[in-house]
Amino acid sequence: MKKNVPLLTALLLVSSVLTGACVTSCGTGGTADTTETEEATVSVTEEATVTGTEEETEIQYEITPKEGVTVSLLNDIMTEWINSYKRGRLDKIYDHTERCEPVPVHFSWGGDAEYTNLFISENPDMSDPVVFLCSGSELDVEDLLPGTEYFWQTVCTKDGNDIRSDIHSFKTLQTIRTVYIPGVSNVRDLGGKKTSDGRRVKYGMVYRGADFANLTDEGIKKAVDILGIKTELDLREKVTGGVSPLGKDIKYISVTAPYYEKIELNEYKDDLLAELKAFVDPDNFPIYFHCSLGRDRTGTLAVILQALLGVSENDIYMDYEASFFSDMGGYADTTPPSTMLQQLNNLKGIISRSAKLLQYNTRTYLLNLGMTEKELDAICENLLEDVK
């Protein structure tokens, strides 16, 4: 799996707002400390206050992201596919190359400060910010959330003076949230999707992806320290006494999971129940669930889980098809996306023939399987939130 932007070790000085925000690079010979990101640019006049003096000065420079701009956290091809999404068109786009990894947001603010504190917040008053210390005048930040308005400000230090910038803002485009874990392919956050009752799936609670066969030490730090994963749900094969590659403190649950029409086979009933029950206990979150490619067994569980939560059929299909932009979900298996989509149709047909009744019929299906009303309510309570 390739990564275009090198991930640097970063020091998070102050944290709170951003879910696992982490830094990828600091420009102009700079170094940094934490996040994930995207791009945009404009020329502005910045009014800066020099701390410790009575004077105010005007500094001309370019800032990025441009004030009020909306940026995508995905590459252009994946962004366009989402913006004009129609099922079953991937055969025309699919070329076995990695296009799933997120794009960092590029921040730049000019000047020749000795070092800069970059503050990023979801609040216009800059409360509860994440702060990055950088030598230089630009920084790439990853793991920002889609569909979110962000506010940012810099405090540049030069010759003993702190120069505080105006507060700037930008928005991130509402898209699927892909996530970069070094050594792991096809990783996505299930959060951000609107539900039939007007709520939203929480970000940072459930991640889906491929296996950890090539997981690096840097990937472990990202998964555990940044994303905060507490439980690995391994769908490949039920084992006794298994330990997660993420570490012995990570809860490890393994099942022999069914995929597509195999959910109807009685031999998989107990395993299907076991994987669903993992989402009942609030102490298990955040959860990372996976099979080998992160597409078939993983995709089957993702469909059932999202349908239960009330995610629209269209968004469920989009989430499934997004696997074909990844190394593992698409590249490792040459089966055309259109062929795989038919298997997804078969799965959905077992659960519900009606798109309008998908949530209701999924709940009924799971009750008949052996889940309880209390357990299904707990899953929804754990994963849904009101939209601000």
Q: What does the pLDDT look like over 59-101, one tens digit per residue?
A: 557 899 999 999 999 999 999 999 999 998 888 776 777 888 9
178-386 in CATH: which number? 3.90.190.10
Contact 235, 255 (CB under 8 A): yes
pLDDT band, residue 44 (cuts 50/70/90): very low
Q: What mean pLDDT, rounded, does the chain reach? A: 86
Classify domain 12-175 by CATH architecture. Answer: Sandwich (2.60)
Cα distance between residue 114 and residue 32, in whole Å: 13
Predicted pLDDT of residue 144: 97
Cα distance between residue 161 and residue 311, in whole Å: 51
Closest CA to 100 of 303, 310, 323: 323
Residue range(s) in the chain whose domain bears CATH number 2.60.40.10: 12-175
Higher pLDDT, 333 or 107: 107
Task: Report, as an integer, the average pLDDT of 260-271.
Answer: 97
Q: How far apart are the first and last CA of the chain?
A: 36
Give the β-pairing of 149-158 and 168-172.
antiparallel
Task: Report, as an integer, the average pLDDT of 25-30.
Answer: 44
Query: Does the pLDDT value for residue 377 go beyond 90?
Result: yes
pTM, two decimals, is 0.86
Higher pLDDT, 52 or 5: 52
Cα distance between residue 169 and residue 280, in whole Å: 37
What tokens were used for 110?
């000019």
Do you know the residue count of the chain? 388
Query: Does the pLDDT value for residue 31 go beyond 50?
Result: no
Omega within 30 of 0 (cis) for the link into 286: yes
> Residue 289's beta-bridge partner residues?
208, 233
Query: Does the pLDDT value for residue 236 go beyond 70?
Result: yes
Cα distance between residue 73 and residue 76, in whole Å: 9
Residue range(s) in the chain whose domain bears CATH number 3.90.190.10: 178-386
Predicted pLDDT of residue 89: 87
pLDDT in tens, 319-342: 999 999 998 887 777 788 888 999
Q: Tell me which of 28-42, 265-279, 329-343, 366-380 is least confident.
A: 28-42
pLDDT in tens, 109-160: 988 889 999 999 999 999 999 999 999 899 999 999 999 999 999 999 988 8
Query: Does the pLDDT value for residue 182 go beyond 60?
Result: yes
pLDDT band, residue 198 (cuts 50/70/90): very high
Contacts 24+ apart (CB under 8 A), 353-359: 355/312, 355/313, 358/307, 358/313, 359/196, 359/307, 359/308, 359/309, 359/310
